[in-house]
Amino acid sequence: MHIVVFSGAGVSAESGLRTFRDSDGLWEQYDVMDVATPEAWEKDRELVLRFYNERRAQVIHAEPNAAHSAIRELEDHFDVSVITQNIDNLHERAGSSTVLHLHGEIMKARSSVDSSLLYDVKNGVIELDAKCEKGSQLRPHVVWFGEAVPEMESAYSIAQSADVLIVVGSSLNVYPAAGLVQFIAPRAALYIIDPKSVPVARDNAIHIKEKASTGIPMLASDLIKKYSTAGR
């Protein structure tokens, strides 16, 4: 059985990383238009770099929570793919082996002229004037609002082969990522784990109104009881 977990900012909320929607569009006191758009980068690179340097410092100090761990443990029983909108690395640090980042990875930098030139961020900071090997400024390896999402095609094909899709901690407001739910097969089961209502145009969606750290372990234990053949 193939389980696809589609995660958003809410899965990392209990690790101390704030969600975007819950902060009223103000993500850690910044207007996203000032820090997470190509226009912001053209206008004030120093501000954009500072914003992501601060977010990176938070990620480095955060720990995976019970939701990330329970998602990892599903791999002991099922074929599991994680597709995340998050730029943090908490799924990887919990041990998940297949993680597709739709919106990039904050622990990486890339050339602002050649997106194939990727680097690990040394010391957690991208400095103004840090250059790629071709001599252009390094930028965070994240997808900004208004930019294309290059991994979307891969995400669609993973979603199409899901027997179960678990959406956790996503308001399903940010497109095209949010459209992923429409790509699962009609026979696939769909679970939404979020304390708040999440709009989804599908009759058979099961909404578990819990925080990720309780909702994911509960659902994982149900799925294992129902479907796992490991150890039988």
- List of residues contacting ligand NAD (CB under 6 A): 8-10, 12-14, 17, 19-22, 27, 85-88, 103, 169-171, 173-174, 194-196, 198, 211-212
Which one, 138 or 208, has the nearer CB to ligand NAD?
Answer: 208
Which one, 102 or 132, has the nearer CB to ligand NAD?
Answer: 102
**Structural tokens at position 66:** 């019970």
Q: How far is the CB of 172 from ligand NAD (least distance, A)?
A: 6
Which one, 90 or 132, has the nearer CB to ligand NAD?
Answer: 90
- Provide the b/e sequence for 96-129 (b: ≥16 CB within 10 Å): beebbbbbbbbbbbbbbeeeebeeebeeeebeee
Kindly list the distances between the CA atom of residue 154 and the CA atoms of 57, 67, 161, in Å, as whole numbers in the listed order. 29, 24, 11
Single out the catalytic residue among 68, 91, 101, 103: 103
76 three-state secondary structure: helix
Residue 131 DSSP class: B
Tell me the residue nearest to ligand NAD as measured from the CB.
Answer: 10
As a whole number of angstroms, the distance between CA 204 and CA 206 comes to: 6
Q: How far is the CB of 219 from ligand NAD (least distance, A)?
A: 12
What is the rounded radius of gyration, in angstroms, for the C-alpha atoms of the chain? Answer: 18
Contact 14, 65 (CB under 8 A): yes
Which one, 162 or 168, has the nearer CB to ligand NAD?
Answer: 168
Q: How far is the CB of 229 from ligand NAD (least distance, A)?
A: 29
As a whole number of angstroms, the distance between CA 99 and CA 101 comes to: 6
Q: How far is the CB of 79 from ligand NAD (least distance, A)?
A: 24
Which one, 102 or 158, has the nearer CB to ligand NAD?
Answer: 102
Rounded to 5°, angle at Cα 23 from 150 and 207? 70
Q: How far is the CB of 225 from ligand NAD (least distance, A)?
A: 22
Backbone angles phi, psi at 7, to 5 degrees: -110, 155
Active site residue 103: yes
Contact 183, 167 (CB under 8 A): no
Residues assigned a catalytic role: 103
